[in-house]
Structure 1
Amino acid sequence: MMKNNNTHNIPFYQVDAFTAEPFGGNPAGVCPLKEWLSDDTLQAIARENNLSETAFFVPTDDGYHLRWCTPAVEVDLCGHATLAASWVLFNKLGYSGKTIRFQTRSGELSVSRHGDEYCMDFPAQKAQAIDIPAGLLEALGITHGVVGVWKAADLIVLVDDKTMIDGLSPDFNALNVFDTRGVIVTAADDKFDFVSRWFGPQVGVNEDPVTGSAHTFLAPFWAERLGKNTLSAQQGGARKGTLRCVVRDDGRVELYGAARMMIEGTFSL
């Protein structure tokens, strides 16, 4: 068989974010690029990975340009894939600085290394209380215990019993009709400050184990309710991850988490 001399090899890493343990947290794909491929190619790679997000980045004069794709769409912000991309830069690609600066659809994001943890500096979002959308609770399978619903990038459903979180089993077809990136159900907890689960069939991800971007509004939401600016959080169902959130008074949120690599390979295009 003749060798295809036009093969384009792209490094690939799969990194579990917001965990130090194998098979925990939220897996993200990471593809370092020398220059941008076409949008269709980026989306095809993300679809091939079939992970909730794949991060792509190219070097710039003062950092990196970073983009994220689910298997279905490109998104404006993704925390766990940003953490995964940073882990690759620090641990596989020899980045020697303390802080990495990314230019993204959500503006400049920075990630710094703190021992075994990584700190992501993201813009905070404020959630607004709304009336409960018709059919939302039925789609989530929630019959009682709802404190209220808020809207930010996602819909936030606050429930009064943490034990409801693990038992959630949404109807994803019914959930897909709501005009939102995703739906997150959250509750106060006795081990962590709050726990949650995130569902996003609208963007091709039925459930995301740990959604860093959601904590840009969940952390301020819970900081106001609990009267504290440093919070511990756990997200996920069968697969869980943890993070520490610091709500600053300058309109930004620091998200701290660990990460570990699970797979290293090459895409041959």
Structure 2
Amino acid sequence: MSQNIRIAFLQIDAFTDQAFRGNPAAVCPLDAWLPDAVLLAIARENNLSETAFFVPAEDADEADFHLRWFTPEVEVDLCGHATLAAGHAILSNLHGKAKAVRFGSQAGILTVTRDGDRLSLDLPARRAGDAAVPSGLYQAMGAAPLALWGGGRDYLLLYESQADIARLKPDFVALKALGRHGFIATAPGDDCDFVSRCFFPGYGIDEDPVTGSAHCVSAPFWADRLGNSTLFARQISARGGDLWIHVTKDRVHMSGHCVEVIAGEMSVPESV
């Protein structure tokens, strides 16, 4: 029987200045990587859209920490809200006087920087392009969009109004059957530049409350459409969240607040 080890655990609500809103992420600092099966088991135990794990980087010239993200079902290649939460954990607790922290990740170097009372996150832009409509997608979404594009692992679906986005009632079983993709529903906002809701049932997340990585696709799209590189976006899930965004040629800089709601330790086996 493997011996249990104790690891620090934080739960942080990202892209909100209020507890119990935004997107909750679990953050677990590690001294060294645990086996992938253990990391996935921890993420399943947390049962949040993502759990972020980080370890000190061996080469401090490249990054301060290496970062990985797990849903309750799989490891993902990019996660915005859990990166923001990990940055908050480090800048508020581990490196309280530092102005920024650099993460090495599957998506390259990601930097979280202090931005007044918010944190700013630097992510790669993933511009939407032409894509074929998967058979059954519009039926699974519950309403046909005005148009559809592809952006990396995600599909971007444009609707006419914020009310159209709010009314969506997707069939998550049908969406999951379409494969491991994200489905970003977006429209002009009533009191912001654009709104969205995001669905990832293929990754074990029916509706994600606030999705930083989805804005790597939607923000460049809206920047081009509106002719403005500086945007204010809202994700109108039940929990909701706000993002202040600046789009450059290759990057999307998004800032938001974070609120720490749980701090403690987990007792986990070294193998499962």
TM-score by length of 1: 0.94
- Distance, in Å, in 2 between the alignment partners of 1:255 and 1:187 is 19
User: What amino acid sits opposite 1:173 in the alignment?
Assistant: V
- Distance, in Å, in 2 between the alignment partners of 1:130 and 1:6 is 49
1:215 aligns with 2:215: yes
Shift of 1:32: 0.3
Shift of 1:123: 1.1
User: What amino acid sits opposite 2:4 in the alignment?
Assistant: T
Q: Classify the secondary structure of the residue corresponding to 1:192.
A: coil
Note closer, same or farther for the CA distance 1:208–1:241 as it changes in structure 2 (3 Å cut).
Answer: same
The corresponding residue for 1:235 is 235
- Kindly report which structure 2 residues correspond to 1:136-175, keeping only aligned pairs within 5 A, or say none: 136-143=137-144, 146-152=145-151, 153-175=153-175
- Distance, in Å, in 2 between the alignment partners of 1:132 and 1:147 is 12
Q: Classify the secondary structure of the residue corresponding to 2:199.
A: strand
Q: Classify the secondary structure of the residue corresponding to 2:214.
A: helix
Question: How high is the sequence identity, in percent, across the aligned residues?
Answer: 49
Does the 8 A contact of 2:156 with 2:217 survive in 1?
no
Note closer, same or farther for the CA distance 1:95–1:59 as it changes in structure 2 (3 Å cut).
Answer: farther
Q: Deviations over 1:200-226 (max 9, x none)?
A: 110000110100011111110000110
Does the 8 A contact of 2:180 with 2:203 survive in 1?
no
Q: Which runs of 5+ in 2 are unaligned?
A: none
The corresponding residue for 1:72 is 73
- Distance, in Å, in 2 between the alignment partners of 1:72 and 1:239 is 22
Aligned residues: 263
Shift of 1:5: 11
Shift of 1:51: 0.1
The corresponding residue for 1:189 is 189
Shift of 1:113: 0.6
The corresponding residue for 1:15 is 12
Q: Which runs of 5+ in 1 are unaligned?
A: none
- Distance, in Å, in 2 between the alignment partners of 1:26 and 1:51 is 9
Q: Classify the secondary structure of the residue corresponding to 2:225.
A: helix
Q: Classify the secondary structure of the residue corresponding to 2:44.
A: helix
The corresponding residue for 1:254 is 253
- Distance, in Å, in 1 between the alignment partners of 2:2 and 2:215 is 45
Of the structure 1 ranges 102-111 and 85-94, higher mean CA displacement relative to structure 2 is found in 85-94
Q: Classify the secondary structure of the residue corresponding to 1:212.
A: coil
1:33 aligns with 2:34: no
Does the 8 A contact of 1:13 with 1:30 survive in 2?
yes
| CA root-mean-square deviation | 1.5
Q: Classify the secondary structure of the residue corresponding to 1:169.
A: coil
- Distance, in Å, in 1 between the alignment partners of 2:125 and 2:237 is 25
Q: Deviations over 1:74-120 (max 9, x none)?
A: 00000000000011101122343211110000111111011211111
Does the 8 A contact of 1:34 with 1:58 survive in 2?
yes
Does the 8 A contact of 2:243 with 2:254 survive in 1?
yes
The corresponding residue for 2:49 is 52
The corresponding residue for 1:122 is 123
The corresponding residue for 1:201 is 201
